[in-house]
Structure 1
Amino acid sequence: MGIEGVNSRIANIQSRILALQGQQATTTTGPAAARGGAAPAQGSFASQLRSAVAANQGADKSYKLNSKGIPEDLVAYGNGKIPAEALGQVGDTNHKLWAPAAQSLTRMIDDAKRDGVKIGITDSYRPYEEQVDLARRKGLYSQGGLAAKPGTSEHGWGMATDLDLNSDALSWMRKNGKNYGYVENVPRESWHWAYRPPS
């Protein structure tokens, strides 16, 4: 990584620290403090710093992709067979994706929240067995259903998420998603967003 990458990470962490300091100042001088009560905590400095560092890990990394855009290290595992150590948790949810995709989605959700936009998650990594069950319940795309053929789903690579989006959130995603590597790539599913790692 070049010096520009290091400087960019430092600047990002510094901006998050300043934002946290601003929140703490509001907490200690805001209306609740004036009444003698405590304002709600916005998270400790340490947790904010950890979040900022985690969000920037791998930000400058690029991946060797196969002809379908899948990182070669994931291809070695197989669709729907990604091991737990290659997955990352998305924020404080129970959802998991391939670790770089999870980090990017976590950062995107946090940034949207700062813009006053709520982005929820309804689905994420889908093991092979779940893909089989979904295809049975919802039918295959090729037959007018909503499921990819088991073993071919972007969810099975841990590189796609289904989001809970109201109209404001969908508009925000269409404007900003690409900045986090996420693209809307299924025409009849505005909730389905796929991660495209840098190559």
Structure 2
Amino acid sequence: MDSISRIGQRMAEIQALIGGPLGYASASVGGVASSSPSGSAGSAGAVATGTGFADALDQAVRSSSSTSSLRNAQGVPADLAKFGNGNVPTSALQEVGDTGHRLWAPAGEALEKLLAAAARDGVSIGITDSYRSYAAQVDLVKRKGLYSQGGLAAAPGTSPHGWAVAVDLDLDARAQTWMRANADRFGFVEDTPREPWHWVFKA
């Protein structure tokens, strides 16, 4: 889809959200919503919409700024791709709370929200591994073998840990059940058979 088509599509979505033509924008003055044609000072005959234009526009912008637009065609975080898998500097990653673990910023923010939600539900989730350097990936293959050969390690340079979008979690049975019921709300999926601790940020 070209840029003009995308703009037209977003305008239609915003119009649907505010329930009226885009020529009308709602404003709130002193807590009272009013609606007037854009570019005019006001109109006594204008009909207030249920959702303010500014709110609808903000929602539309946020929804169109999903993390999927921050990845390249291979699904790699665009801002990290230049470094290479396993060669991302610490300064380009975000620390996850006070855990000492680091991830791609959108993944780190999502994981913090996930951990907070689990804690509110009385569920404790720990992190055992996050971003993994290329050297660490090589070492893991030596210690645990290649996944393709029955081991537990991805071929060095191919692991989602090397792009800082995967975490290995410390999960008891209750936490595992909670993750399987809730993780997708935060963009995390369990995508590797034989590794129930391994969760990847796909949003």
Structure number with bigger Rg: 2
Closer/same/farther in 2, CA of residues 116 and 145 from structure 1, 3 Å limit: same
> Which of the pair is proportionally richer in helix?
1
The one-character-per-residue Cα deviations of 1:40-84 (angstroms, maximum 9, x if unpaired) are xxxxxxxxxxxxxxxxx9995432433432222222211001122
Q: How does 1:38-53 map to 2 (within 5 A)?
A: none
Percent identity of equivalent pairs = 53
2:9 is the counterpart of 1:3:
no
2:132 is the counterpart of 1:126:
yes
Deviates more, 1:74-83 or 1:175-184: 74-83
The equivalent residue for 1:167 is 173
The unaligned stretches of length 5 or more in structure 1 are 8-56
Cα contact 2:77–2:163 (8 A) shared by 1: no
Matched residue type, 2:150: G
TM-score (norm 2): 0.67
Matched residue type, 1:3: D
Cα contact 1:97–1:159 (8 A) shared by 2: yes
Q: Alignment partner for residue 160 of structure 2, among 148, 154, 157?
A: 154
Q: Alignment partner for residue 87 of structure 1, among 93, 101, 105?
A: 93
Give the distance between the partners of 1:164 and 1:172, measured in 2 at CA.
13
RMSD: 2.4
Query: What is the number of residues matched between the two proteins?
Result: 148
The equivalent residue for 1:195 is 201
SS at match of 1:136: helix
The equivalent residue for 1:24 is none
Cα contact 1:90–1:103 (8 A) shared by 2: yes
Give the distance between the partners of 2:154 and 2:140, measured in 1 at CA.
9
Q: Alignment partner for residue 185 of structure 1, among 183, 191, 199?
A: 191
TM-score (norm 1): 0.68
Closer/same/farther in 2, CA of residues 58 and 134 from structure 1, 3 Å limit: farther
Closer/same/farther in 2, CA of residues 137 and 149 from structure 1, 3 Å limit: same
Measure how far apart 1:196 and its partner are: 1.1
Closer/same/farther in 2, CA of residues 161 and 185 from structure 1, 3 Å limit: same
> Which of the pair is proportionally richer in strand?
2
Give the distance between the partners of 1:4 and 1:168, measured in 2 at CA.
39
Give the distance between the partners of 2:202 and 2:78, measured in 1 at CA.
13
Give the distance between the partners of 1:186 and 1:112, measured in 2 at CA.
22
Give the distance between the partners of 2:58 and 2:122, measured in 1 at CA.
29
2:116 is the counterpart of 1:110:
yes
Give the distance between the partners of 2:65 and 2:117, measured in 1 at CA.
19
The one-character-per-residue Cα deviations of 1:138-170 (angstroms, maximum 9, x if unpaired) are 111121111000000010000000001111111
